[in-house]
Structure 1
Amino acid sequence: MTPERVLVAGFATRHVAQSACRAGYEVYAVDHFCDQDLRWYTKECRTFEELDDLPDCVAAVCRDRRIDMLVVASGAEAIGATVPLCGTAPAKVARFLDKMEIQRFFEDLQVPVPPLAPDGVYPAMLKPRRGAGGWRNAVVRSDAARRAWEEAFPDDPAVAQQVVEGMPASVSCIADGTRAVAIATNEQILRGQGASAHGFAGSITPVDHPLSGQMIAVAERIAAASGCVGSVGIDFVLGSEPWAIEINPRFQATLDTVEAAIGMSVFQLHVDACRGTLPAKRPVQRRVAVRRILFADRDMAVGADLAPLAPAVADIPWPGTEIEEGHAVISVYGSGATRDEALTALGREDERVRRLLGM
């Protein structure tokens, strides 16, 4: 039987394309990077420079190739296409691309959410109303610091929340528009320092925290009420209670560690849910998996071919790629029966990669 052809579109799509390819689909991609390993999993990969160029690139692939379904990743949630969308419709997604609307949604559901911070009340967590990855989020402690943030991002209206302390975490759910099943919990690794201290830098699946069960229950309730279909992620801070932070109505950056931990295809679960079938029960977490993104500590050019290190690495840049200080270089992985074993395995691979890159 001829495999279904799927077009995966977004700023970075390797994780989704890899999952789709492993599930037996014929994959095409529109992606900003088109790294080495993305080409391993796709029949064709087309690049774009700016997100404004993305819809035209998607339209061109749909004209030139017979595509059975479109699947979107971050940056492409709101685009339309002439082929069937396998995921949440743009009209439904729109609300969850605006963090102020997410705030109101959580408040209406009466789930724990950090309250909005009134003007002049500090510390406050500032976030752009639109955008993903958390790299522009910042805790400000004065009017002057808030003005500096606003001057740095003049085109991004801010949402200001009161600061809640705790572990950054998330729940990966599969939803059919009215029901949802949690398939994994994730500890989120943040960059932790510098201007992008709150930016996403990796994940550990599953999360080890006494509030995990409560977080799962809240996440399933949120995902079911959202009306989204397929893969839906809910971000939390696990502090005095599970504080709901955001909804991601698409595949999340934790996909790799989720699949490694549960031993199942998240892409196939996504497709099945979009066609009305949810998992009969929550998957068993079979092992602990960790991913860490390495960021350039200086302006650099990649001199080594890192492809032979796969599958311990992914998002593999081509030799000669120039990368600016602070930008992502490559993803590194580890796994084991326990969190400590997984982190130890990650440490070995991390050291090997850094040595080859001269970092």
Structure 2
Amino acid sequence: MEKLLLIGINTRSMIESGLKLNYTIYSTSYFSTSDVPLIKNQKIILDESKNSDCGVFEDQFNSENILNVSKDYLDEVDYIIPISGISPNDFEKKHQKKILGNKDICKVEDKYKFYKEIKNEFLTPETFYVNDVDEAIEIQKNNPKVQYIVKPLKGSGGYNTNLLNNPSQLQLNINEKLIVQEYIEGINLSSSVLASKNEAKNIINSRLLTQHDFEKNSQFKYVGNILPLTEKSILTPIKNIDDINRKMEDSSEKLIKKFKLIGSNGVDYILNKNGLYVIEINPRIQGTFECVQQALGINMLEAHIKACQNEIISVDNPEYYSYKKIIYSPQTMRYKKINLNNIYDMPHLESITRKDEPLLTIIDKDKDFDKLYEKVELASQIVNKLAKKAQVSVK
């Protein structure tokens, strides 16, 4: 069988789907979850059996480290699928040739280049490239009536994204290349698109969730998704949902074709009274991976591979709602077993998860949206309550 390497921050869900296909699966990931399938060819950076403290993700994660650890795999396998945390541009050219997916994503990955490419065709927030924090603050001073946010020039998941109203927060990002972007208040949405060399097909839209949606604070970390996008799942009184879905489908397919992307890609939007603002493209398999599989009854890894090989699979209407919610630990805590049947990406028993770091993921499905929402929110309450009880202190 041909050999396929899955490489990124967390490959658990991808391995599960890959094992159903006719490939010998290899994996390199940063996180070690207790529910990741154990396979012969597997490397994990964060070894909790030796160090029970998982630390702070932003301080420890390094994509170069994952690539260095994977050197022998990169030479051995026939194909490579990079997921979140690894850019195709990080690979040497000889290994880039093996990638199933987009190889050159410079104009998408660089948020300022992306803005310049689309600003005359699509509604999108005004964006500036800045050399330092002082320059970012100067932009705000010159436009006092506009609220801005500061983001890394490259990156995903909402990490290190802050409202530009607290200069002390921005010192954390002083060594990063930054953009200043007009802050758009509205509803976060996302679409999932499969693309071949000649075709782009939007297969489903979702309500994208950030910490800001739940806590109304200035944190914009990715929390999850609910799909498909309906009057209920959008979580806001909206009546023209069919029109919104059509506009998302049209814009997403045009964007994917414009940048000549292939495989599974995501397009993120913010909706408000002015319309749909294009925020960014995720040129890889997205965080909606398992939700799409549950709602549509397909293997998303297979769909991605086939699209890269110039075949778009047939997709029926969704049979289920699916809801994914990432729980960030409310306290620094030592993990104890939690008896719920809809939790994934669990830490190893007795390992320590720092406050505000990802603890686990709740994923569930139901044909009834209200029942699904109730199940996931109840599980969320239980996990947070148990996490607070398991609080520990670390140096």
TM-score, reference length from structure 2:
0.80
Determine helix, strand or coil for the equivalent of 1:37. Answer: coil
- Note if contact 1:99-1:159 (Cα within 8 Å) is conserved in structure 2: yes
Partner of 1:200: 222
Partner of 1:59: 71
CA distance in 1, matches of 2:225, 2:202: 16
Q: 1:358 to 1:140 in 2, by over 3 A?
A: closer
CA distance in 2, matches of 1:340, 1:43: 41
Aligned residue runs from structure 1 range 74-85, under 5 A? 74-77=84-87, 78-80=89-91, 82=94, 84-85=98-99
- Note if contact 2:226-2:323 (Cα within 8 Å) is conserved in structure 1: yes
Aligned residue runs from structure 1 range 248-267, under 5 A? 248-267=282-301
Of stretches 168-177 and 203-212 in structure 1, the one that deviates more from structure 2 is 203-212
Note if 1:335 corresponds to 2:372. no
Aligned residue runs from structure 1 range 272-287, under 5 A? 272-280=306-314, 283-287=316-320
Q: 1:149 to 1:105 in 2, by over 3 A?
A: farther
CA distance in 1, matches of 2:184, 2:74: 45
Aligned residue runs from structure 1 range 1-12, under 5 A? 2=1, 4-12=2-10
Q: 1:323 to 1:184 in 2, by over 3 A?
A: same
2:114 is aligned, of 91, 102, 112, to 102
Note if 1:72 corresponds to 2:94. no
1:314 is aligned, of 341, 344, 354, to 344
2:184 is aligned, of 164, 175, 181, to 164
Q: 1:176 to 1:31 in 2, by over 3 A?
A: same
Amino acid at match of 2:310: G
Partner of 2:322: 289
- The Cα shift of 1:95 comes to 2.2
CA distance in 2, matches of 1:348, 1:126: 34
Two-structure CA RMSD over aligned residues (Å): 2.2
- Note if contact 2:162-2:170 (Cα within 8 Å) is conserved in structure 1: no
- The Cα shift of 1:16 comes to 2.2
Of stretches 14-23 and 262-271 in structure 1, the one that deviates more from structure 2 is 14-23
Determine helix, strand or coil for the equivalent of 1:88. Answer: coil
CA distance in 2, matches of 1:53, 1:125: 30
- The Cα shift of 1:9 comes to 0.6
Q: 1:13 to 1:195 in 2, by over 3 A?
A: farther
Aligned residue runs from structure 1 range 21-60, under 5 A? 21-40=19-38, 42-48=39-45, 50-60=62-72
- The Cα shift of 1:175 comes to 1.0
Q: 1:316 to 1:168 in 2, by over 3 A?
A: same
Structure 2: give runs of 5+ residues left out of the alignment.
Answer: 46-60, 129-138, 232-240, 390-395
CA distance in 2, matches of 1:195, 1:15: 30
Q: Deviations over 1:14-41 (max 9, x none)?
A: 232222223453322111112122234x
Determine helix, strand or coil for the equivalent of 1:273. Answer: helix
CA distance in 1, matches of 2:198, 2:186: 30
- Note if contact 1:29-1:46 (Cα within 8 Å) is conserved in structure 2: yes
- The Cα shift of 1:203 comes to 0.8
Q: Deviations over 1:135-174 (max 9, x none)?
A: 2212224xxx2x3343121112322222222111100111
Q: 1:343 to 1:22 in 2, by over 3 A?
A: farther
- The Cα shift of 1:297 comes to 1.1
Structure 1: give runs of 5+ residues left out of the alignment.
Answer: none
Determine helix, strand or coil for the equivalent of 1:39. Answer: coil
- The Cα shift of 1:309 comes to 4.1
1:325 is aligned, of 351, 355, 358, to 355
Partner of 2:14: 16
CA distance in 2, matches of 1:196, 1:75: 23
Of stretches 348-357 and 43-52 in structure 1, the one that deviates more from structure 2 is 348-357
Partner of 1:135: 159
- The Cα shift of 1:357 comes to 4.1
CA distance in 2, matches of 1:354, 1:151: 30
Of stretches 214-223 and 16-25 in structure 1, the one that deviates more from structure 2 is 16-25
CA distance in 2, matches of 1:139, 1:323: 26
Partner of 1:126: 150
- Note if contact 1:333-1:349 (Cα within 8 Å) is conserved in structure 2: no
Partner of 2:393: none
Partner of 1:87: 101
- The Cα shift of 1:313 comes to 1.4
- The Cα shift of 1:238 comes to 1.5
Of stretches 174-183 and 349-358 in structure 1, the one that deviates more from structure 2 is 349-358
Determine helix, strand or coil for the equivalent of 1:160. Answer: strand
Determine helix, strand or coil for the equivalent of 2:363. Answer: strand
Determine helix, strand or coil for the equivalent of 2:90. Answer: coil
Q: Deviations over 1:317-354 (max 9, x none)?
A: 11121111000000012221132121112134334444
- Note if contact 2:191-2:202 (Cα within 8 Å) is conserved in structure 1: yes
